[in-house]
Structure formats: C-alpha cells, structure tokens
Amino acid sequence: MGTVFAVLLVFVGCCSNVVFLELLVREFPGCGNIVTFAQFVFIALEGFIFETDFGRKKPAIPISNYVVMVTMFFTVSVINNYALNFNIAMPLHMIFRAGSLIANMILGIIILKKRYSASKYLSIALVSAGIFICTIMSAKQVVSRLDGSDEHGFYAFLRWLVGIAMLTFALLMSARMGIFQETLYTKYGKHSKEALFYNHFLPLPGFLLLSTDIYNHCVLFSQSTPVLIPAVGLSLPIMWIYLLINVITQYVCIRGVFILTTECTSLTVTLVVTLRKFLSLIFSILYFRNPFTAWHWLGTAVVFAGTLLYTEVWSSVSAALRGAGVKEKKAE
C-alpha cells in the first residue's frame, strides 16, 4: 500500500508541478527566482515544525557538512530555474535534466575511481546522443525563429548558448552533490528528511542577493488577472494561485520520492522517476503545443532507452520471465 501511495504522489505531484511551472514561465519567463524562493520557504517551514521540532532536535549530520551540501544544492536549484530565462524551452529543459546519469558516471569515474560494465557505457553513450540531437534541433529552431533581424537573432542565440551552459553546469554540480551526499550517508547513516530540511533552510539568506528580482516579480504577479476562489469568496491574482499550487505540488513530489526510496529498491525508484519525466514531457508537448520535431522524438526515445538500459531493467524483466517459466515447468 505504501509503494502504491508513493508512486501516486510522485506522478500526481511531479507531473502537475511541471504543468504549473510552465504556466508561470510562459507568462513571465524570468520568474525562476521567485518560484525557487517560494519552494524553499514552504519546505523549510514544514521541516522546521515537523522534523526539527521548532529547532529543538539536534542534527545527526554536522552542520558544517550541510553548509557544503547546501551551497551546491542552492546553486543547482537557482541555475536550473533561472536557465528558463535564456530561451530554453521546457521540453529541452526536461530532456537535459534527464541526462543526470551522464554526469553521475563521469564524476563517479573521476572522483570515486569507479569502473562500469560495457552496457553502462553504452547506455551513457545513448543518453548523450539523445541530448545532443535534441539540443542541436532546438538550436536550429532558435535560429530559424529569429532570422528576421541578424543582430537580434545572434543575441538571442548567444542567450540560448548561455542557457545551455547553465544547464550543463547545474547537471555536473548536481552529480557532485549526489556523490558528496552518498559519502555523508555512508559515514553518518541515512537522514533524508533532515537533509531535506537543511538543504532548504540554510540557503534562505542567499535569496537576499536575488531580492530585487523576487520583489519585481511579486509586483508583476500581483498585477496579473484576478480569479475568484468560490470556496473562500476571495479574488486572487492568477499567477499567485499558480505559484501556490506549484509550491504544494513540489512538496508532494519530494515527499513521494522520499517515501519511494524507503519502500522500494533504487531500480524501482529510477524507473518511476524516469517514467514520470517522460509523461511530463509528452504532456508539455501536447497540451502547451511546444515545438517538437521528429528529430526531437528520436532524441527523446534514445535518452529514455539509454536510461532504462543503465538501470538494467531489461535484464531484470528477462530474469523475472525466466523465473516464471521455471515455476511453470516445475508445476507441470
């Protein structure tokens, strides 16, 4: 029952979160900072009340280690959301982030001196090829959209390249954070809820650096079209409603993944998260009518095929089928 509930939370929370993020970004492409800030405040407040018991519970992992982790986490979160302000389409954003396996493997080889099987290297090659195809096709779309003015088109293309560089940096930084987190859990034991709280609480002062941008978007959000909420009889600007739902669904998504990690194997978690990303991508393309060519579909298929190959799902399924066949023969 716990597993089914966790899977439901992941699909409902994460998929709907992407929808409301796109609704926000389509209206105000540069709203990434206010979205990140709202998510951090909500999750930090929840953790302060229920995880730390209003600050009375001491952390199991030293704060100094959390400071290092939080610096990386804050950087990744801000850059990932802010990249949407650099002509990065939401489908490309999702495909790029699905390539985390590449970064994990590269840094695992460099830092942890890990060695992988041939199938793992093949899967990474597939994921890399898929992301490369989608990125090149998106670059052509950016150029073709802005052919009218050479100067403006070149400037927009440069902004797009900056966005790609930001996503690449965030991908590598996220992988490095994962390795650091893995070493901490090995030394101090797993404390996922505690880490979730400190990863969102400690970076809050860092948003002072982004306060002007956050304030400007608060003003813009307040000026958006008001919508009547029948349950309470109040009218609220539509962008604030979108932001509230985005924050709540982000929390549901994170909680679902946390429950899933305690109920299932890492293979199952990877498969659920990968399938969720794929469904979010399909919904974004169909509902929001994002430009998506046959090459994009090919690149997407290659990315997810490589991801499934990396998780060895095919060998797990075939082993399960062989086991079922053996049981049937014994029954005969």
Whether the per-residue pLDDT at 322 is higher than 70: the answer is: no
As given in the structure block, the two tokens for residue 107 are 């840094």
Exposure b/e, 179-208, CB count within 10 A at least 16 = b: bbbeebeeeeeebeebbbbbbbbbbeeebe
pLDDT band at 1 (very low <50, low <70, confident <90, very high): low
- The DSSP string of 294-318 is HHHHHHHHHHHHHHHHHTTHHHHHH
Mean pLDDT of 42-64: 93
Per-residue 3-state assignment (H helix, E strand, C coil) for 202-228: CCHHHHHHHHHHHHHHHHHHHCCCEEE
Paired tokens of 167? 């996503």
Q: How far is CA 296 from the centre of its chain?
A: 20
Dihedral angle sign, alpha carbons of residues 7, 10, 12, 13: positive
Beta strand pairing status for 234-237 and 226-229? antiparallel
Amino acid at 184: L
Both tokens of 126, joined, read 């597939």
DSSP SS3 for 54 = coil
pTM for the full model? 0.75
Average pLDDT, the chain: 82
Each residue's pLDDT tens digit, 123-148: 878 877 887 787 777 766 666 665 55
Q: What are the φ and ψ backbone dihedral angles of 235, each rounded to 5 degrees?
A: -105, 130
Q: Name the residue with higher pLDDT: 209 or 90.
A: 209
